[in-house]
Structure 1
Amino acid sequence: MESRLKVLRVFKALHKTRVDVFKDDVRALTAARQKINEEFRKNKEETSEEKINQMINMASDVEIVLRKTVIQGVHVEDRKIVLRPREDQLLENTPYLDDQKKT
Structure 2
Amino acid sequence: RTAAVYKILVLRVFRDLHKTRRHVFKDDDRALTAARLKINDEFQKNKNETSEENIKEMLKMARAVETILRENVIQGEHVEQNKILLRPRESLLLDNVPYSDTPRNKTRP
Q: Shorter-chain TM-score category? A: over 0.9
Q: Matched residues in 2 for 1:98 and 1:23: separation?
A: 40
Question: How far did residue 98 of structure 1 move?
Answer: 1.9
CA RMSD of aligned residues (A): 1.7
Secondary structure of 2:96's partner? coil
Query: Is residue 89 of structure 1 aligned with residue 89 of structure 2?
Result: no
Q: Matched residues in 2 for 1:99 and 1:37: separation?
A: 51
Q: Pick one of 73, 80, 105 that aligns with 1:77.
A: 80
Structure 2: where are the runs of 5+ without partners?
105-109
Query: Is residue 16 of structure 1 aligned with residue 19 of structure 2?
Result: yes
Question: How far did residue 56 of structure 1 move?
Answer: 0.4
TM-score (norm 1): 0.92
Query: Is residue 67 of structure 1 aligned with residue 70 of structure 2?
Result: yes
Identity %: 62
TM-score (norm 2): 0.88
- Higher relative contact order at CA 8 Å, sep ≥6: structure 1 or structure 2? 1
Identify the range of structure 1 (13-22 vs 37-46) with the bigger mean alpha-carbon deviation.
13-22
Note the alpha carbon deviations across 1:38-58, whole angstroms, 9 max, x for none.
000000000111111110000
Q: Matched residues in 2 for 1:89 and 1:2: separation?
A: 33
Structure 1: where are the runs of 5+ without partners?
none
More helix by share: 1
